[in-house]
């Protein structure tokens, strides 16, 4: 049952907040985040405060739109300030809420921009993709991070994988509407269980993105079917196991010296810090990589909550910085265990 509680939206049809989910989050996050949760809850339940970043497509560059964004007061994320920031990736943010309209796909024309939560770029940037590298996006649909990866560099090989068949089709469509044909040829799109890929392709990749299935806080709060929402909540405790299994497989598929980035769009400590601690405790060949520098560089645009980890960042939605939730952790594989 939906509660009469209305999200504070300016839209004619205000989204409704699912009370079952809100109550559940309230219990957990007020414990985990303390008073910070009050602000986070206010933003998450007020779609009228939400912000949308504009990622320009370097394969069909929108010069006019870029001028227009400047005039509208948008600024670029990270420009010049983050060491190793790929100049080819341009993402515009505004400090005020709202969004420009999404673009319709026209056959034969690549889309010019992608609207996204700016915090989703942090895992992509943390990966530091270089030209020629072999990269696996293990849980890729609908494809936002794959598109962003291709704005940063030209990989020698990119595999975009998605297990769910409907979402797999969505992923294909996203790639086709942003990426030119010659580049599509270096991309393999697969529909496999990510938990099995390590055994199938051991030590094949230089870089690995595990943007894991998680309790997606923003969308769960607006579940339209509260029975389904209750079911999700009761299944929620199984997610860390799935996330750990995906990471174990990803580690197998990573070459020694390779980099793995793990991300989720939940605030939940059990799916974030605890998952990464479990991986570090059970894999002596996986080393944490300090990414606090990223947080220092972009503290004007993002608000971070403490994670107690040097290798893990948590972006929390804040007033005027309504980005996240997004957890990002970076690990390096130091040697092969040769067990496969
Ligand atoms: C957070 S979403 C990925 C979002 C995507 N990276 C993006 O930026 O657009 C997680 C995805 O993992 C997929 N997934 C769930 N279980 C999986 C599995 N065992 N193997 C691979 N993908 C899986 C889900 O269907 C979902 O599409």
pLDDT per position as a tens digit, 84-112: 889 999 999 998 998 999 998 888 899 99
What tens digit of pLDDT does each residue of 61-92 get?
999 999 999 999 999 998 667 888 899 999 99
Q: Is 211 in the pocket of ligand 1 (CB under 6 A)?
A: yes
User: Does residue 13 lie within any of the structural domains?
Assistant: no
What is the average pLDDT value for the chain, to the nearest integer? 93
Higher local confidence (pLDDT), 6 or 168: 168
Q: Is 142 in the pocket of ligand 1 (CB under 6 A)?
A: yes
Please report, rounded to a whole number, the percentage of residues in the chain having pLDDT higher than 90. Answer: 86
Q: Report the pLDDT value the prediction gives residue 164, as an integer from 0 to 100.
A: 98
338 is in an annotated binding site: no
Mean of the pLDDT values across residues 216-243? 95
What tens digit of pLDDT does each residue of 263-310 get?
999 999 999 999 999 999 999 999 999 999 999 999 999 999 999 999
Among 142, 189, 200, 213, residue to substitute to test ligand 1 (most atoms within 8 Å of Cβ):
213
Predicted confidence band at 5 (pLDDT cuts at 50, 70, 90)?
Answer: very low
Total domain count, the chain? 1
Q: In which domain, by residue range, is 31 found?
A: 19-48+119-333
Ligand 1 atom nearest the C-alpha of 195 is 19
Q: How remote is the CA of residue 76 from the centroid of ligand 1, in Å?
A: 28
Among 114, 163, 190, residue to substitute to test ligand 1 (most atoms within 8 Å of Cβ):
163
Domain with residue 167: its CATH number is: 3.40.50.150
User: Does residue 158 lie within any of the structural domains?
Assistant: yes
Give the 3-state secondary structure of residue 92.
strand
Is 265 part of the annotated catalytic residue set? yes
pLDDT at residue 1 greater than cutoff 80: no
Mean of the pLDDT values across residues 6-34? 81
Contact 144, 120 (CB under 8 A): yes
Q: Report the pLDDT value the prediction gives residue 339, as an integer from 0 to 100.
A: 55
**Of these residues, 91, 265, 298, 311, which one is catalytic?**
265
Predicted confidence band at 10 (pLDDT cuts at 50, 70, 90)?
Answer: very low
198 is in an annotated binding site: no
Mean of the pLDDT values across residues 228-251? 97
Mean of the pLDDT values across residues 214-241? 95
Q: Report the pLDDT value the prediction gives residue 104, as an integer from 0 to 100.
A: 86
User: Does residue 306 lie within any of the structural domains?
Assistant: yes
Q: Is 140 in the pocket of ligand 1 (CB under 6 A)?
A: yes
Q: How remote is the CA of residue 137 from the centroid of ligand 1, in Å?
A: 9
pLDDT at residue 12 greater than cutoff 60: no
Ligand 1 atom nearest the C-alpha of 164 is 25
Give the 3-state secondary structure of residue 162.
coil
143 is in an annotated binding site: yes
**252: its two tokens:** 């197998």
Tell me the Cα Rg of the chain. Answer: 19
Mean of the pLDDT values across residues 165-193? 95
User: Does residue 2 lie within any of the structural domains?
Assistant: no
User: Does residue 97 lie within any of the structural domains?
Assistant: no
User: Does residue 1 lie within any of the structural domains?
Assistant: no
Q: How remote is the CA of residue 4 from the centroid of ligand 1, in Å?
A: 32
Mean of the pLDDT values across residues 302-319? 97
162 is in an annotated binding site: yes
User: Does residue 151 lie within any of the structural domains?
Assistant: yes
Q: How remote is the CA of residue 196 from the centroid of ligand 1, in Å?
A: 14
Predicted confidence band at 8 (pLDDT cuts at 50, 70, 90)?
Answer: very low
In sequence order, the 6+-apart residues with CB closer than 8 A to the CB of 263 are 120, 122, 123, 209, 210, 211, 212, 326, 327, 328, 329
Q: Is 19 in the pocket of ligand 1 (CB under 6 A)?
A: no
Q: Report the pLDDT value the prediction gives residue 37, as an integer from 0 to 100.
A: 98
Q: Report the pLDDT value the prediction gives residue 9, as an integer from 0 to 100.
A: 44
pLDDT at residue 7 greater than cutoff 80: no
Q: Report the pLDDT value the prediction gives residue 118, as an integer from 0 to 100.
A: 97
pLDDT at residue 15 greater than cutoff 60: yes
pLDDT at residue 241 greater than cutoff 50: yes
211 is in an annotated binding site: yes
CA distance 288 to 249: 18
User: Does residue 80 lie within any of the structural domains?
Assistant: no
Peptide bond into 68 cis (omega under 30): no
């Amino acid at each position: 049952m939906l509660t009469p509680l209305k999200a504070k939206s300016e839209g004619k049809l205000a989204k409704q907040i699912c009370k079952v989910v809100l109550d559940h989050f309230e219990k957990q996050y007020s414990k985990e985040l303390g008073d910070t949760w009050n602000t986070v809850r206010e933003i998450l339940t007020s779609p009228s405060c939400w912000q949308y970043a504009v990622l320009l497509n370097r394969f069909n560059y929108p010069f006019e739109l870029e001028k227009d964004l400047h005039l509208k007061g948008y600024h670029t994320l990270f420009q010049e300030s983050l060491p190793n920031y790929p100049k080819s990736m341009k993402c515009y943010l505004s400090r005020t809420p709202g969004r420009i309209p999404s673009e319709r796909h026209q056959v034969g024309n690549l889309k010019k921009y992608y609207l996204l939560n700016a915090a989703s770029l942090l895992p992509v940037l943390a990966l530091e993709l270089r030209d020629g590298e072999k990269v696996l996006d293990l849980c890729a649909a609908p494809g936002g991070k794959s598109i962003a990866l291709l704005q940063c560099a030209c990989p020698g090989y990119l595999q975009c994988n998605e297990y769910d068949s409907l979402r797999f089709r969505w992923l294909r469509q996203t790639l086709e509407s942003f990426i030119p044909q010659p580049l599509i040829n270096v991309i393999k799109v697969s529909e496999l269980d990510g938990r099995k890929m390590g055994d199938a392709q051991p030590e094949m990749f230089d870089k690995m993105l595990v943007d894991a299935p998680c309790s997606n806080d923003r969308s769960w709060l607006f579940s339209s079917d509260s029975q389904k929402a209750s079911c999700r909540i009761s299944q929620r405790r199984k997610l860390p196991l799935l996330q750990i299994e995906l990471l174990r497989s990803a580690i197998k598929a990573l070459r020694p010296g390779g980099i793995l980035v793990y991300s989720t769009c939940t605030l939940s400590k059990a799916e974030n810090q605890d998952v990464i601690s479990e991986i570090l405790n059970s894999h002596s060949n996986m080393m944490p990589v300090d990414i606090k520098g990223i947080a220092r560089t972009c503290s004007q645009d993002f608000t971070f909550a403490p994670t107690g980890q040097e290798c893990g960042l948590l972006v929390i939605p804040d007033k005027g910085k309504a980005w996240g939730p997004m957890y990002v952790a970076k690990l390096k594989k130091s040697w092969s265990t040769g067990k496969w």
